[in-house]
Amino acid sequence: MTHEYDAIIATARRIALEAGAIQMRYFRKLESYEKKGHIDLVTIADRESEELIHREILHAFPDHAVLGEEGGRYGAEQSDYLWIVDPLDGTTNYAHGLRLFAVSIGVSFRGQIIAGVVYAPALDELYTATRGGGAFRNLQQIRVSERDKLEDALLVTGFPYDRAAHVKPLMTMLGECIKSSRGILRLGAASLDFAMVAAGHLDGFYEYGLRPWDMAAGALLVEEAGGRVTGFAKDEKFDLFGKRSVASNGRIHDELLRAITCEGGALTFPP
Ligand code: IPD
Ligand code: CA
Ligand code: CA
Protein backbone atom coordinates (compact mmCIF):
# COMPACT_ATOMS: atom_id res chain seq x y z
CA MET A 1 0.00 0.00 0.00
CA THR A 2 2.86 2.40 0.75
CA HIS A 3 4.06 1.99 -2.81
CA GLU A 4 0.55 2.82 -4.08
CA TYR A 5 0.44 5.91 -1.81
CA ASP A 6 3.81 7.04 -3.17
CA ALA A 7 2.54 6.86 -6.75
CA ILE A 8 -0.65 8.69 -5.79
CA ILE A 9 1.04 11.52 -3.93
CA ALA A 10 3.66 11.96 -6.66
CA THR A 11 0.91 12.26 -9.26
CA ALA A 12 -1.20 14.58 -7.09
CA ARG A 13 1.81 16.82 -6.52
CA ARG A 14 2.68 16.99 -10.21
CA ILE A 15 -0.91 17.75 -11.21
CA ALA A 16 -1.28 20.43 -8.52
CA LEU A 17 1.84 22.17 -9.80
CA GLU A 18 0.45 22.16 -13.34
CA ALA A 19 -2.94 23.45 -12.18
CA GLY A 20 -1.19 26.18 -10.17
CA ALA A 21 0.59 27.27 -13.35
CA ILE A 22 -2.81 27.66 -15.03
CA GLN A 23 -4.02 29.80 -12.12
CA MET A 24 -0.96 32.02 -12.37
CA ARG A 25 -1.44 32.47 -16.11
CA TYR A 26 -4.71 34.34 -15.47
CA PHE A 27 -3.90 35.86 -12.08
CA ARG A 28 -4.19 39.68 -11.97
CA LYS A 29 -5.01 39.76 -15.67
CA LEU A 30 -8.35 41.38 -14.94
CA GLU A 31 -9.03 44.24 -17.31
CA SER A 32 -11.66 45.83 -15.17
CA TYR A 33 -13.29 45.37 -11.81
CA GLU A 34 -16.68 44.81 -13.33
CA LYS A 35 -18.39 41.81 -11.83
CA LYS A 36 -18.83 40.02 -15.13
CA GLY A 37 -15.13 40.35 -15.88
CA HIS A 38 -14.27 38.72 -12.59
CA ILE A 39 -16.68 35.91 -13.03
CA ASP A 40 -15.59 35.19 -16.61
CA LEU A 41 -11.94 35.16 -15.72
CA VAL A 42 -12.35 33.04 -12.64
CA THR A 43 -14.47 30.62 -14.63
CA ILE A 44 -11.68 30.22 -17.19
CA ALA A 45 -9.08 29.50 -14.49
CA ASP A 46 -11.45 27.18 -12.62
CA ARG A 47 -12.48 25.28 -15.69
CA GLU A 48 -9.04 24.92 -17.27
CA SER A 49 -7.57 23.86 -13.95
CA GLU A 50 -10.25 21.24 -13.29
CA GLU A 51 -10.14 19.89 -16.84
CA LEU A 52 -6.40 19.39 -16.58
CA ILE A 53 -6.67 17.81 -13.13
CA HIS A 54 -9.33 15.26 -14.00
CA ARG A 55 -7.71 14.40 -17.35
CA GLU A 56 -4.32 13.82 -15.72
CA ILE A 57 -5.74 11.80 -12.81
CA LEU A 58 -7.62 9.45 -15.09
CA HIS A 59 -4.66 9.17 -17.42
CA ALA A 60 -2.49 8.02 -14.49
CA PHE A 61 -5.20 5.96 -12.73
CA PRO A 62 -7.94 4.99 -15.22
CA ASP A 63 -9.82 2.90 -12.64
CA HIS A 64 -10.10 5.72 -10.06
CA ALA A 65 -13.00 8.19 -9.66
CA VAL A 66 -12.83 11.98 -9.39
CA LEU A 67 -15.18 14.40 -7.63
CA GLY A 68 -14.53 17.96 -8.77
CA GLU A 69 -16.19 21.13 -7.53
CA GLU A 70 -16.98 22.48 -10.95
CA GLY A 71 -17.81 19.36 -12.96
CA GLY A 72 -19.10 16.76 -10.50
CA ARG A 73 -18.03 13.12 -10.84
CA TYR A 74 -15.78 11.61 -13.51
CA GLY A 75 -14.08 8.28 -14.05
CA ALA A 76 -14.96 4.80 -12.79
CA GLU A 77 -18.47 4.38 -11.40
CA GLN A 78 -17.25 1.97 -8.75
CA SER A 79 -13.78 2.56 -7.38
CA ASP A 80 -12.09 2.28 -4.01
CA TYR A 81 -10.26 5.51 -4.83
CA LEU A 82 -11.96 8.89 -5.00
CA TRP A 83 -9.95 12.03 -5.84
CA ILE A 84 -11.64 15.11 -4.39
CA VAL A 85 -10.64 18.28 -6.18
CA ASP A 86 -11.06 22.01 -5.71
CA PRO A 87 -9.42 23.43 -8.84
CA LEU A 88 -9.34 26.93 -7.35
CA ASP A 89 -9.98 27.47 -3.65
CA GLY A 90 -10.14 31.12 -2.62
CA THR A 91 -11.96 32.34 -5.71
CA THR A 92 -12.91 35.68 -4.20
CA ASN A 93 -9.31 36.42 -3.21
CA TYR A 94 -8.19 35.39 -6.69
CA ALA A 95 -10.69 37.68 -8.37
CA HIS A 96 -9.48 40.55 -6.21
CA GLY A 97 -5.80 39.92 -6.98
CA LEU A 98 -4.98 38.59 -3.49
CA ARG A 99 -2.42 35.82 -3.31
CA LEU A 100 -4.33 33.56 -0.91
CA PHE A 101 -5.69 30.92 -3.27
CA ALA A 102 -4.80 27.29 -3.94
CA VAL A 103 -5.44 24.03 -5.74
CA SER A 104 -6.64 21.33 -3.36
CA ILE A 105 -6.49 17.61 -4.16
CA GLY A 106 -7.41 14.96 -1.61
CA VAL A 107 -7.55 11.23 -2.29
CA SER A 108 -9.72 8.83 -0.35
CA PHE A 109 -9.46 5.03 -0.25
CA ARG A 110 -12.70 3.30 0.79
CA GLY A 111 -13.87 6.54 2.38
CA GLN A 112 -10.69 7.39 4.29
CA ILE A 113 -8.48 10.23 3.10
CA ILE A 114 -5.02 8.83 2.41
CA ALA A 115 -3.24 11.61 0.54
CA GLY A 116 -3.59 15.35 0.16
CA VAL A 117 -1.94 18.22 -1.67
CA VAL A 118 -2.64 21.94 -1.29
CA TYR A 119 -0.65 24.16 -3.62
CA ALA A 120 -0.69 27.95 -3.34
CA PRO A 121 1.25 29.04 -6.42
CA ALA A 122 1.34 32.76 -5.64
CA LEU A 123 2.84 31.97 -2.21
CA ASP A 124 5.14 29.30 -3.65
CA GLU A 125 3.90 26.90 -0.97
CA LEU A 126 3.22 23.24 -1.69
CA TYR A 127 1.70 21.28 1.18
CA THR A 128 1.57 17.48 1.03
CA ALA A 129 0.55 14.66 3.34
CA THR A 130 0.02 10.92 3.22
CA ARG A 131 -1.74 8.99 5.97
CA GLY A 132 0.88 7.83 8.42
CA GLY A 133 3.64 9.62 6.50
CA GLY A 134 3.57 13.13 8.02
CA ALA A 135 2.84 16.55 6.54
CA PHE A 136 5.23 18.72 4.58
CA ARG A 137 5.58 22.19 3.12
CA ASN A 138 7.97 22.39 0.19
CA LEU A 139 9.33 19.01 1.35
CA GLN A 140 10.09 20.23 4.91
CA GLN A 141 8.11 18.46 7.62
CA ILE A 142 5.57 20.66 9.42
CA ARG A 143 3.97 20.36 12.86
CA VAL A 144 1.04 22.06 14.52
CA SER A 145 1.73 24.70 17.17
CA GLU A 146 2.21 23.97 20.85
CA ARG A 147 0.01 26.74 22.24
CA ASP A 148 -2.27 25.17 24.75
CA LYS A 149 -4.62 27.95 25.84
CA LEU A 150 -7.36 29.46 23.73
CA GLU A 151 -6.49 32.89 25.11
CA ASP A 152 -3.05 32.59 23.42
CA ALA A 153 -4.42 31.15 20.18
CA LEU A 154 -4.72 32.79 16.78
CA LEU A 155 -7.78 31.39 15.05
CA VAL A 156 -9.25 31.48 11.56
CA THR A 157 -12.76 30.97 10.27
CA GLY A 158 -14.73 31.35 7.07
CA PHE A 159 -18.29 32.05 6.06
CA PRO A 160 -20.36 29.98 3.65
CA TYR A 161 -21.89 31.50 0.53
CA ASP A 162 -25.36 31.09 2.08
CA ARG A 163 -24.19 33.05 5.15
CA ALA A 164 -27.13 35.41 4.98
CA ALA A 165 -29.34 32.55 6.16
CA HIS A 166 -27.14 31.91 9.20
CA VAL A 167 -25.97 35.33 10.34
CA LYS A 168 -27.08 34.91 13.94
CA PRO A 169 -25.28 31.67 14.83
CA LEU A 170 -22.24 32.71 12.77
CA MET A 171 -21.98 35.93 14.75
CA THR A 172 -22.52 34.15 18.05
CA MET A 173 -19.64 31.77 17.35
CA LEU A 174 -17.45 34.59 16.13
CA GLY A 175 -18.26 36.64 19.21
CA GLU A 176 -17.23 33.82 21.54
CA CYS A 177 -13.94 33.40 19.67
CA ILE A 178 -13.26 37.15 19.68
CA LYS A 179 -13.79 37.17 23.45
CA SER A 180 -11.70 34.14 24.27
CA SER A 181 -8.76 34.04 21.81
CA ARG A 182 -5.80 36.23 20.81
CA GLY A 183 -7.45 36.98 17.49
CA ILE A 184 -9.42 35.53 14.61
CA LEU A 185 -8.80 35.86 10.86
CA ARG A 186 -10.85 35.22 7.77
CA LEU A 187 -8.36 34.32 5.03
CA GLY A 188 -10.88 33.24 2.38
CA ALA A 189 -9.42 29.89 1.28
CA ALA A 190 -10.36 26.95 3.46
CA SER A 191 -7.62 24.65 2.13
CA LEU A 192 -5.07 27.24 3.25
CA ASP A 193 -6.79 27.70 6.60
CA PHE A 194 -6.16 23.99 7.25
CA ALA A 195 -2.61 24.27 5.88
CA MET A 196 -1.80 27.21 8.18
CA VAL A 197 -3.01 25.22 11.19
CA ALA A 198 -0.90 22.25 10.03
CA ALA A 199 2.16 24.50 9.73
CA GLY A 200 1.64 25.93 13.23
CA HIS A 201 1.01 29.55 12.23
CA LEU A 202 -2.62 29.36 13.25
CA ASP A 203 -3.86 27.32 16.19
CA GLY A 204 -7.46 26.59 15.28
CA PHE A 205 -9.96 26.79 12.41
CA TYR A 206 -13.70 26.28 12.32
CA GLU A 207 -16.22 26.76 9.57
CA TYR A 208 -19.83 25.87 8.94
CA GLY A 209 -20.87 24.76 5.46
CA LEU A 210 -17.61 23.61 3.87
CA ARG A 211 -17.75 21.09 1.05
CA PRO A 212 -15.63 17.94 0.65
CA TRP A 213 -13.28 19.59 -1.89
CA ASP A 214 -12.54 22.41 0.58
CA MET A 215 -11.53 19.92 3.28
CA ALA A 216 -10.24 16.61 1.88
CA ALA A 217 -6.58 17.55 1.56
CA GLY A 218 -6.48 20.09 4.40
CA ALA A 219 -7.96 17.81 7.04
CA LEU A 220 -5.28 15.20 6.39
CA LEU A 221 -2.56 17.89 6.54
CA VAL A 222 -3.71 18.87 10.03
CA GLU A 223 -3.94 15.28 11.28
CA GLU A 224 -0.56 14.36 9.86
CA ALA A 225 0.99 17.48 11.40
CA GLY A 226 -0.17 16.22 14.81
CA GLY A 227 -3.44 18.14 15.05
CA ARG A 228 -7.08 17.17 15.48
CA VAL A 229 -10.10 17.49 13.18
CA THR A 230 -13.70 16.99 14.36
CA GLY A 231 -17.25 18.23 13.98
CA PHE A 232 -18.59 21.03 16.18
CA ALA A 233 -19.87 19.08 19.16
CA LYS A 234 -17.90 17.07 21.69
CA ASP A 235 -17.48 13.53 20.29
CA GLU A 236 -18.80 14.60 16.86
CA LYS A 237 -16.47 12.89 14.40
CA PHE A 238 -15.15 14.78 11.40
CA ASP A 239 -17.36 14.12 8.38
CA LEU A 240 -15.98 14.98 4.96
CA PHE A 241 -19.52 15.26 3.65
CA GLY A 242 -20.81 17.08 6.72
CA LYS A 243 -21.02 20.80 7.28
CA ARG A 244 -19.47 21.35 10.70
CA SER A 245 -15.69 21.29 10.78
CA VAL A 246 -13.12 22.19 13.39
CA ALA A 247 -9.36 21.73 13.05
CA SER A 248 -6.75 22.63 15.63
CA ASN A 249 -3.39 21.83 17.11
CA GLY A 250 -5.24 19.41 19.42
CA ARG A 251 -4.22 21.20 22.62
CA ILE A 252 -6.83 23.96 22.37
CA HIS A 253 -9.45 21.76 20.72
CA ASP A 254 -11.83 21.16 23.61
CA GLU A 255 -11.68 24.80 24.65
CA LEU A 256 -12.37 25.88 21.06
CA LEU A 257 -15.33 23.48 20.83
CA ARG A 258 -16.74 24.91 24.03
CA ALA A 259 -16.41 28.44 22.66
CA ILE A 260 -18.01 27.79 19.27
CA THR A 261 -20.87 25.79 20.75
CA CYS A 262 -21.35 28.33 23.56
CA GLU A 263 -20.43 25.75 26.22
CA GLY A 264 -22.47 23.07 24.47
CA GLY A 265 -25.57 25.27 24.54
CA ALA A 266 -27.87 26.37 21.76
CA LEU A 267 -26.48 26.32 18.26
CA THR A 268 -29.09 26.82 15.63
CA PHE A 269 -27.27 25.33 12.63
CA PRO A 270 -28.70 22.33 10.88
CA PRO A 271 -26.42 19.28 11.48
C1 IPD B 1 -14.55 28.94 -0.51
C2 IPD B 1 -13.34 29.29 0.32
C3 IPD B 1 -13.73 30.10 1.54
C4 IPD B 1 -14.80 29.44 2.37
C5 IPD B 1 -16.00 29.09 1.50
C6 IPD B 1 -15.57 28.22 0.32
P7 IPD B 1 -14.12 28.69 -3.16
O8 IPD B 1 -14.18 28.12 -1.61
O9 IPD B 1 -12.67 28.11 0.75
O10 IPD B 1 -12.63 30.31 2.40
O11 IPD B 1 -15.19 30.32 3.39
O12 IPD B 1 -16.91 28.39 2.32
O13 IPD B 1 -16.68 27.90 -0.47
O14 IPD B 1 -15.50 29.05 -3.54
O15 IPD B 1 -13.20 29.85 -3.13
O16 IPD B 1 -13.59 27.49 -3.88
CA1 CA C 1 -13.34 25.92 -2.12
CA1 CA D 1 -13.37 26.47 -5.84
- pLDDT digits 0-9 by tens, 1-17: 566 788 999 999 999 99
pLDDT above 90 for 149:
yes
Which residues are registered as beta bridge partners of 129?
116, 135
**189 C-alpha to ligand 1 centroid (Å):** 5
Question: Model confidence over 218-251: pLDDT tens digits?
Answer: 999 999 999 999 999 888 999 999 999 999 999 9
pLDDT above 90 for 49:
yes
Q: What is the residue extent of each domain of the chain? A: 3-141, 150-260
What's the pLDDT score for residue 81?
Answer: 97
Question: Model confidence over 153-201: pLDDT tens digits?
Answer: 999 999 987 777 788 889 999 999 999 999 999 999 999 999 999 999 9
| 50 close to ligand 1 (CB < 6 Angstrom) | no
**Average confidence score pLDDT of the chain:** 91
What's the pLDDT score for residue 1?
Answer: 54
What's the pLDDT score for residue 33?
Answer: 40
Question: Is residue 219 within 8 Å of residue 194, measured between CB atoms?
Answer: yes
What's the pLDDT score for residue 235?
Answer: 85
pLDDT above 70 for 271:
no
Q: What percent of the chain clears pLDDT 90, i.e. is strictly above it?
A: 77
Closest residue by Cα to atom 14, ligand 1, is: 91
Closest residue by Cα to atom 16, ligand 1, is: 89
| CATH fold match for the domains 3-141 and 150-260 | no
Provide mean pLDDT across the span 112-139. Answer: 97
66, 27, 19, 73: which is closest to 47 by C-alpha? 19
Q: Which amino acid is at 48?
A: E
What is the biggest distance separating any 2 CA atoms in the chain, rounded to whole angstroms? 51
Q: What percent of the chain clears pLDDT 70, i.e. is strictly above it?
A: 91
| 113 close to ligand 1 (CB < 6 Angstrom) | no
What CATH architecture is 150-260? 3-Layer(aba) Sandwich (3.40)
Exposure string over 245-268, b if 16+ CB within 10 A, otherwise e: bbbbbbbbbebbbbbbbeeeeebe
pLDDT above 50 for 32:
no
What's the pLDDT score for residue 263?
Answer: 66
| 45 close to ligand 1 (CB < 6 Angstrom) | no
Dist CA 141 CA 236 (whole Å): 29
- According to CATH, the superfamily of the domain at 3-141 is Fructose-1,6-Bisphosphatase, subunit A, domain 1 (3.30.540.10)
pLDDT above 50 for 36:
no
Ligand 1, atom nearest to 214 Cα = 9
What's the pLDDT score for residue 85?
Answer: 97
**89 C-alpha to ligand 3 centroid (Å):** 4
